[in-house]
Structure 1
Amino acid sequence: MVDSFHSRVRLSHHQVLISPLDEPLPAHPRAFPNGLIALDDDEPDAGATILTGVHTGVVDFTVQLVRQPPPPDLDSWDEIVEISLECAFGTLHVRGLHGDLPRDLPNLATEGDGWYRLRVHATGRDTDPGGIARTPTERYLLVVWPAPPQPELVLKRSDAYGAEVRAR
């Protein structure tokens, strides 16, 4: 069974955050070795940051909450990365850098405290890197399921923006 939710996420400074609702926002990671998502450098359980191509504006964002991971859709996305994230506070939410919460996206921590696996998909980051998106030019899919911690897994790398970030 898949619970799917869709919204537009307002962002700034190339950042969409995944973090606990009642905690301070995670610090911007110093590096994004996989080109797409990174945990907070100082407090990994504080959350993660997804790096967008556009600097400011809105992106289309879909969240799927699952019990078991579906096979990855390698044909529809430019970049796909999986990471593990510990939820210490029972809530994990997608939000903009300034704490903006999209109304239609749920708490990702379906089982409260514990470890979750996040598979982040991105497409469209090469459309207007560094630009301002008044209407979405980028799409993201975040698939989340409870799972013990595992090493990061890069499933696909193909956009120029991600290659540029990885080269820094």
Structure 2
Amino acid sequence: MSDGQFYLVDAGTQAALLYSAGRNGLVGVLGDGAACVCTGTLEGLVRLTAQASQEPPLAHVGDWDEVVEIAFHSPSGRFSINGVANGPPLPNLAVAGPGYYRVRVHARGRDAGHGAETVTDVNEIVEEFLIICWPGDGQPEAVHQTRDQVGIGLRAAQPDPSIMPPIRNTAADPSGRRR
């Protein structure tokens, strides 16, 4: 992954893939068929597991630092993770075809990832994500757990620039500067 982010992307989306942590500091919905997941690691490797289910999973936060659930609309009925490489292909998460899904994003190790900044060796991965999707509705997001420093910085009204990853979309920042 790069620029401190990866995306959930529907094959039929027209949404721009911009950096957005949303109000929850972990995942921001970018429009119909697109969402951005924010990492602590700026560049390189994170561990990612993606699961599609027909039923909602048990609400269990366990030892995850951040757990947020969003509504995701899949216009085409085919969406997966974009912006990641090095591993087996990730599955189509739209198990019920076109429509609304609930997406629960779990994260741990973002603070350590932020400290490492770039991780290129698989044996040095410190950040992990679990994404679970199931057919749902357009209900508002649900925040189950928020406790890492990266998330605190991203949720703050005046975020600490040392925690924020670079801005990728120069249209949002016409100067092209990175923060």
TM-score (norm 1): 0.83
Aligned to 1:81: 68
Q: Is the 8 A contact 1:26 1:46 kept in 2?
A: no
Structure 2: stretches of 5+ with no match in the other structure: 160-179
Q: Is the 8 A contact 1:17 1:26 kept in 2?
A: no
Rounded to whole Å, the distance in 1 between the matches of 2:53 and 2:134 is 5
Cα-to-partner distance string for 1:47-99 (whole Å, 9 max, x where unaligned): 000000001101111112112212222222000000001101221110217xx
**Which residue of 40, 45, 59 corresponds with 1:72?**
59
RMSD of the TM alignment (CA)? 2.0
Aligned to 2:11: 21
Aligned to 2:114: 129
Q: Normalized per residue, which structure has more strand?
A: 1
Question: Is the aligned partner of 1:56 residue 2:32?
Answer: no
Residue identity matched to 2:119: A
Rounded to whole Å, the distance in 1 between the matches of 2:137 and 2:12 is 24
Question: Is the aligned partner of 1:144 residue 2:130?
Answer: no
Residue identity matched to 1:108: L
Aligned to 1:33: 23
Match of 2:46, SS?
Answer: strand
Aligned to 2:176: none
Change in Cα spacing, 1:68 to 1:156, as seen in structure 2 (3 Å) is: same
* Structure 1 stretch displaced more, 154-163 or 17-26: 17-26
Cα-to-partner distance string for 1:113-156 (whole Å, 9 max, x where unaligned): 10000000000000031600113211100010001111110000
Q: What is the percentage of aligned positions where both structures have the same residue?
A: 35
Aligned to 2:173: none
Structure 1: stretches of 5+ with no match in the other structure: 1-10
Report the CA distance between 1:32 and its aligned residue.
Answer: 2.3
Alignment: residue pair count: 153
Residue identity matched to 2:106: H
Query: Post-superposition, which runs of at least 4 consecutive aligned residues in structure 1 deviate over 4 A?
Result: 22-25
Rounded to whole Å, the distance in 1 between the matches of 2:127 and 2:110 is 6
TM-score (norm 2): 0.78
